[in-house]
Amino acid sequence: MELIKELTTCITEVRKLREDLATASACPPLIPTGTTYAQITGRGTAGYGSSRRPLASQGSFPLPPTTSTLPLQIKVPTTKPALIITTKTPVGTRQETVEAFRKSISFGGAKYAPSKVSALAKNKLRVEFDSVRDCEDALRRLQDSEAAQVTAEPSKKLKPMIILKGISEDMPAEDLVGVLFGQNIEFDDFSEEDINFRFKRNNRNGKLYNAVFVVSPRLFRAAMLIGRIRLDHQRVYSEEFSPFLQCHSCLQFGHTRKHCRSEQIRCAHCAEPNHLEADCPTKGDQQAPPKCHNCAAHNARFPNKLNTQHRATSNSCRILSNIRAKIDNTIDYGQ
């Protein structure tokens, strides 16, 4: 009887879902077919050089028809060209740098202006422009002006990385770039200078592997738009590979468990020492919500209190997301 009751509930639920789907299909789909859960959530679990953001955060582009026929807008992050502005004589405040910058260059009649000015450490400024041409023009004018009170240099950022997931072990890593160019028409405009193989990583499936590449911002954008890349008989997923690292042993940032020098292991779920999340006694317990060790440690030291009810490796952690944002900020995504 119990089983029959359960089955009846299931059937009712499925029927309800079907009805909902029928209603939903009348509206434009929000998510393309074949999109994984990790893609929808945007970021996988934080951790060892995590890959993420197949559908990333700023700027939008129509999906090329080779991948899907759905009118999905894929978002790829952008980085605008920028100058780093330093005053020629030391100043005490950022405001003085802003003043010196204003006195050094005028944008009246220039047909462009900086799109964003932000403060950096040591009273420096980062001045963004909408185009490389505008940025180069401002740089040249500042360099040519003897009266300029500031010096300017182009803001240098790191190249982005991509990870290709689930490559067959039959395909040697050193052949990847050649095959990738030979088989994907979307990369016809690129050369080997745009992509460099970095390292292999294990895939959950022992017969497959993942490969990480450092790429030019332009190739990064193309790869994000294609989504799946043809490699011999396969179509493999390409995602951003973030240099963000969190140790799953001590829960600190900037290194991995393999390189951890801390004596103390700590649970990412309950924040207690001496066991890892996998061995946590309270993990399945509904009554025991997770507790973030890093946010709890912050709260013990500072007056501004953070919510601690999340895992220390969760993307909802304020400390983790701040560190991730800082790292994203060092990467040149192009535009």
Binding site for Zn ion (CB under 5 A): 247, 249-250, 260, 262, 267, 269-270, 280, 292, 294-295, 317
Contact by Cβ (8 Å): 36, 52: no
- Residue 5 Cβ vs Zn ion, minimum distance, rounded to whole Å: 36
Give whichever of 195 and 280 is closer to Zn ion, judged by the CB atom. Answer: 280
Q: Which is nearer to Zn ion, 131 or 322 (CB)?
A: 322
Token match 């028409």: residue?
Answer: 185
Task: Tell the smallest beta-carbon distance from residue 271 to Zn ion (Å).
Answer: 7
- Host H or E run for residue 154: strand 150-154
Is the CB of 228 or the CB of 269 nearer to Zn ion?
Answer: 269
Q: Please state at what angle helix 293-301 crosses helix 318-328, rounded to 10 degrees.
A: 100
DSSP designation for 272 = -
Give DSSP secondary structure letters for 216-270: -HHHHHHHHHH-EEEETTEEEEEEEE----B-TTT--BSS-GGG---S--B-TTT
Nearer to Zn ion, 23 or 304 (CB): 304
In the complex, the smallest distance separating the C-beta of residue 243 from Zn ion, rounded to whole angstroms, is 16
Q: Closest approach of Cβ 110 to Zn ion, in Å?
A: 45
Q: Which helix (H) or strand (E) holds 119?
A: strand 116-119
| Cβ nearer to Zn ion, comparing 217 with 290 | 290
Nearest approach, Cβ of residue 200 and Zn ion (Å): 23
| Of 210, 241, 248, 220, nearest in space to 51 by CA | 241
